[in-house]
Every structure is written in structure tokens, then in C-alpha cells.
Amino acid sequence: MHAYASVRTADDVKVGDIDIESGERLYPGIGHGENQLRWGFIRKVYGILAAQILVTTAFTAATVLYVPINDLLRENSGFLLFLVFTPFILLWPLYIYRQKHPLNMVFLGLFTASMSLTVGVSCANTEGRLVLEALILTSAVVSALTGYTFWAAKKGKDFSFLGPILFTSLFILVLTGFIQMVYPLGSTTMAVYSAISAIIFSGYIVYDTDNLIKRFTYDEYIWASVTLYLDVLNLFLTILRMLKQDN
């Protein structure tokens, strides 16, 4: 299969073919050797991302199903507040040591565990049916956006222009969230806020996947997985919040 792919011309590549194992060209103009290396990098990142999601699922299940953990987190507001800010604190050393093994893996594990506990608290205070619905919807959206981005890359489309737009939107979103803590917003405003949040994090999935395909260097696999992990989790939590508002 790889030998066959290496002698194919650009005109022979089918636009709809997106097979990680095929080694086919990711985007126009990429050389065969770089293409093979980039596919290996992509597989590595998605492998780490899958492990992060499995850890988050395990932590969430333990938080929801094991009553003592659930009670501890709900009754200790100080500890809960610490958990909320811990991922933000860990992002700094994770970024600094993202290319230094094994420190990058250590900080990645701590970051994933802290994020998982935060997600677990959100799920523990939500009806199980809504959590399942949010999980299914998030999986569908992430799969669709990822597939679209790989297809668009093969067509020669570029999404780097989304960077400044998404960053500005996210800054406004966070600022609005802090304002909401002081001056609670109405139900209609919160519904609009949640819808805009879902659009922003969906845009980040496209933008970061495009970076994964074209711009992340091969030794930035940790940071690439972290960005996608945050995109997926934030989209899941946003959808979960939207479903809770409707019930």
C-alpha cells in the first residue's frame, strides 16, 4: 500500500480518501517522506488523546459512582475551587516542558487528572441521561469536524485565519463568564452564551486539527494532544450545560 501510494500523482489522489494507514497525501505540496512522518505524528497525538479521554472517563465514572468521592467534592468548596484552578496552573509547566521527556508526560498526567476531576464534578451533579446525550453529541460533532478538516486539507484549504478570531472570541467568552459570576445573566442570555461557546470550541477543533496536519512540529506531540483534549472537553461541558438548561 505504501509503495503504491508513493508512485501516485496528485491527480490520482481521491479527494474523499482519508485513511491514516494509507499514507496518502495530507495536503497539496507535501513531499512523500514528510507526509509519512506527519501521519506518524498524527497517530501519536491521537493515541495520547485517546488515553487522556479514557483517563477522564475513568475519573468521571469514579466520581459519579463512588459516593464518598462525590460527597467530598461537593461538601468541600475550598478543595473544589482548588481543583477548578489547578489545570490552569499546570498549563504553565506543561507548556514549558512540553518537549522535555519525561517531565512532559508527568505534567500531562497531572493536568489530565485535574481536568478529569473537574469534569467528574460536573457530571456528578447532572442527570445520567443528559451526560450520555452530551457524550453522544460531542462524539458526533468532533468526528464530523475532524473528518471535514482532513478532507478540506486535501483540497488545499487552510484555516490558520481562524486563530485571531477564535482567540478574541474566547477572551470575550471568558470575560463574560466572570461578569456572569457577579451579575447573573438571564436564561435567554445564558442560552445564547452557551450556543456561542459551542460554536467557538467547534471552531477550535477545526483550527487545532488543521495545525496538527500542517504546523505542529514533530516534537510538539504533547501540546498538540493537550489543545485537542481541551477543545473536546470544553465542547462536551458546553453541550452538557445547554442540555441542563433545557431541563
**Full-model pTM:** 0.83
What average pLDDT does the chain have? 83
pLDDT in tens, 169-181: 999 998 888 887 7
pLDDT classification of 111: cutoffs 50, 70, 90: very high
> Does the structure show a pLDDT above 80 at 2?
no
d(CA 37, CA 3) in angstroms, rounded, equals 15
Residue 127 vs residue 237, higher pLDDT: 237
pLDDT classification of 129: cutoffs 50, 70, 90: confident
pLDDT in tens, 10-68: 334 343 344 444 457 898 888 888 889 999 999 999 999 999 999 999 888 887 777 67
Closest alpha carbon to 132 in 60, 204, 84: 60
**Residues of the domain holding 10:** 2-245
Give the pLDDT score at 75.
67
Give the pLDDT score at 200.
95
- Average pLDDT over every residue of 130-147: 93
> Does the structure show a pLDDT above 90 at 5?
no
Give the pLDDT score at 164.
94
The grid coordinates listed for 39 are: 501521519
pLDDT classification of 190: cutoffs 50, 70, 90: confident
- Average pLDDT over every residue of 230-234: 95
What domain count does the chain have? 1
**b/e for 22-40, b at 16 or more Cβ within 10 A?**
ebbbbbeebeeeebeebbe
pLDDT classification of 74: cutoffs 50, 70, 90: low
Residue 113 near residue 59, CB atoms below 8 Å: yes
Residue 80 near residue 74, CB atoms below 8 Å: yes
